[in-house]
């Protein structure tokens, strides 16, 4: 019996219980962790999945980051202007973009686009019994399909976070300087006033965690689909909800850790 068949039977027996999905997800996560350290890695599948996830998430990321940047910058500059401190708007824009705007946008895009794409792909394979066919041929689906997708989601999550931060800083500069008449030199000189290496490390840890969790959730729901094509649609909807809940909870925890870590410095 392969580890994937074992996972499927375990999940099938546990779904009737309230915490069945939690146990099944934990078991799949452990199987994935074991398979990730077994070589050779499926490099071709990893590259293809990374490119696929980038292609479906890059444009939504930019489109989501721009209005959020404008909203954050506008609100911040109005507040600072009331206190006569508009010249330090760069410090607030950098802090908001690095610590919250980047991770939160990554959450929404990875959960709404990346994870659902993984779930739909694996769910369709499960319905067509391709997963069973792989097991019959002696190929481990966890190692062949799940590990590359989880690693790809992790890599793409960190890249999207960097993209959002860049868009946030550049968009904040354009909006502040050209629309709200903030001095450009003052904006640039205060970017690193309250934002340093600890904040960047925490933001990167958030993005990596978001990508990892989104990839695992998408793979889990894709491998446990039942009920035909309708079941795939239901699993995709559940993936969005589960990802958003899990990722926002992780964001709160890591933000708390980051605040304590930054205060220590």
Chain segment 201-226, per-residue pLDDT in tens: 888 888 888 888 888 888 888 888 87
- The yes-or-no verdict on residue 2 having pLDDT over 70 is no
Mean pLDDT over 247-262 rounds to 76
Least confident of 17-26, 68-77, 98-107, 163-172: 17-26
Mean pLDDT over 101-117 rounds to 80
Q: What is the pLDDT of residues 43-67, one digit of tens each?
A: 888 898 889 888 888 888 888 888 8
The pLDDT of residue 7: 54
Q: What is the pLDDT of residues 152-206, one digit of tens each?
A: 988 988 888 888 888 888 888 888 888 777 777 877 888 877 777 878 888 888 8
**Which pTM does this prediction carry?**
0.82
Q: Could you give the CA distance from residue 185 to residue 33 in angstroms, rounded to a whole number? A: 48
Q: In whole numbers, what is the pLDDT of the chain averaged over residues?
A: 79
Residue matched to tokens 């220590």: 264
- The yes-or-no verdict on residue 119 having pLDDT over 80 is yes
The pLDDT of residue 265: 44
Burial of 39 (0-12, 13-18, 19+ CB in 10 A): exposed
The pLDDT of residue 19: 62
Mean pLDDT over 222-235 rounds to 80
Domain residue ranges of the chain, discontinuous segments joined by +: 42-264
The pLDDT of residue 17: 53
The pLDDT of residue 264: 42
Burial of 214 (0-12, 13-18, 19+ CB in 10 A): buried
- The yes-or-no verdict on residue 81 having pLDDT over 80 is no
Q: What is the pLDDT of residues 11-46, one digit of tens each?
A: 444 444 556 667 777 788 788 888 878 878 788 888
Q: Which helix (H) or strand (E) holds 235?
A: helix 228-264
């Amino acid at each position: 019996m392969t580890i994937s068949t074992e996972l499927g039977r375990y999940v099938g027996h546990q779904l009737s219980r309230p915490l069945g999905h939690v146990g099944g997800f934990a078991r799949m996560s452990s199987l994935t962790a074991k398979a990730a350290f077994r070589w050779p890695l499926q490099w071709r599948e990893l590259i293809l999945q990374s490119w696929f996830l980038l292609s479906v998430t890059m444009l939504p990321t930019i489109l989501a980051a721009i209005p959020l940047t404008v909203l954050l910058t506008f609100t911040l500059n109005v507040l600072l202007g009331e206190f006569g401190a508009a010249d330090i708007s760069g410090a607030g824009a950098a802090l908001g973009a690095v610590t919250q705007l980047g991770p939160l946008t990554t959450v929404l895009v990875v959960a709404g686009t990346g994870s659902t794409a993984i779930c739909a792909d694996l769910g369709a394979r499960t319905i067509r019994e391709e997963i069973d066919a792989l097991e019959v041929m002696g190929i481990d689906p966890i190692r062949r399909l799940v590990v590359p997708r989880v690693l790809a989601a992790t890599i793409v999550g960190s890249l999207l976070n960097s993209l959002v931060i860049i868009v946030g800083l550049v968009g904040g500069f354009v909006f502040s300087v050209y629309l709200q008449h903030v001095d450009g030199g003052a904006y640039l000189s205060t970017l690193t006033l309250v934002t340093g290496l600890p904040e960047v490390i925490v933001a990167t840890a958030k993005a990596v965690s978001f990508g990892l969790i989104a990839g695992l959730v998408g793979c889990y729901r894709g491998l446990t689909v039942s009920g035909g094509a309708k079941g795939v649609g239901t699993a995709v909807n559940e993936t969005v909800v589960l990802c958003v809940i899990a990722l926002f909870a992780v964001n709160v925890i890591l933000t708390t850790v980051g605040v304590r870590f930054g205060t220590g410095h």
